[in-house]
Amino acid sequence: MPPLKFFSSSAFFSCSNIVFSALCCVLFFSINLQAVEFELTPMVGQTFSPDLANGDNTNTLSTTDEPNFSLAFAWKESPTGQGQILVNYISRDFIDEVNQLSHSFDTIYAHFSGVALFEERNYTTTVGLGFGATYFNSTFDDVIYPSLTVALGTRYEFSNNLALITELRAYATLTKDNDTLFCQNDTCSAHFDSAIWFDSQFSIGLAYRF
């Protein structure tokens, strides 16, 4: 198993800014905070990465499947629904064809979602749909693109305040074919393989309600 990767300084500060802005929006639009039930969920999982295209778009380059780390902040909108802000981080690698060098790039997803809760006998099924942005950061450049996310999961309640979360999630990011994320001057090591970047992942976490 490859070693776990952690935030670069630029990715950390970008993620912090996104989280801070998102939380400010929640506080601003919540009319009666005293009556709202909040929930905080740290999660970890595995990301299954799509391929990139090589520098001249004639071949595909494999990207590594890496762990993802995420934090969800949710509030109860109704007995069967939640509002949620989710931030998700992944760092992965690819090898360019020209120099056979390994390059890494970070991905930070930040999304506002609605989550529907379907209570079963011993657990709850969750379905989420959200919109937001994707931040890509490489050693060459960084870009932000609009994106959507959809998720299917389960909740197993341990108590009134603690639940085990399992989740299958997909992200779709609208990219540009002339991006410079993997380019230095006029030389590009890779490009996005299509106009939409699809990420999929499986995650588990613990939700704490307060």
Q: With respect to residue 157, please indicate whether it lies within any of the assigned structural domains.
A: yes
Q: With respect to residue 1, please indicate whether it lies within any of the assigned structural domains.
A: no
Domain with 40, as residue range(s), is 9-209
Instruction: Give the tokens for residue 70.
Output: 């995420």
Q: With respect to residue 3, please indicate whether it lies within any of the assigned structural domains.
A: no
Q: What is the pLDDT, as a whole number, of residue 23?
A: 53
Q: With respect to residue 124, please indicate whether it lies within any of the assigned structural domains.
A: yes
Q: What is the pLDDT, as a whole number, of residue 117?
A: 96
Write out the chain's pLDDT in tens, 210 residues. 444 454 454 554 555 555 555 555 544 444 444 457 899 999 999 999 999 999 888 899 999 999 999 999 999 989 899 999 999 999 999 999 888 889 999 999 999 999 999 998 889 999 999 999 999 999 999 999 999 999 999 999 999 999 999 999 999 999 987 788 999 888 899 999 889 999 999 999 999 998
Q: What is the pLDDT, as a whole number, of residue 110?
A: 98
Q: How far apart are CA 70 and CA 210, in angstroms?
A: 19
Q: What is the pLDDT, as a whole number, of residue 185?
A: 84
Count of structural domains within the chain: 1
**What are the E-state strand segments in the chain?**
38-48, 52-54, 60-61, 67-78, 81-95, 102-119, 124-138, 142-157, 162-174, 183-184, 187-188, 190-192, 196-209
Q: With respect to residue 4, please indicate whether it lies within any of the assigned structural domains.
A: no
Q: What is the pLDDT, as a whole number, of residue 16?
A: 53
CATH of the domain at 100: 2.40.160.20
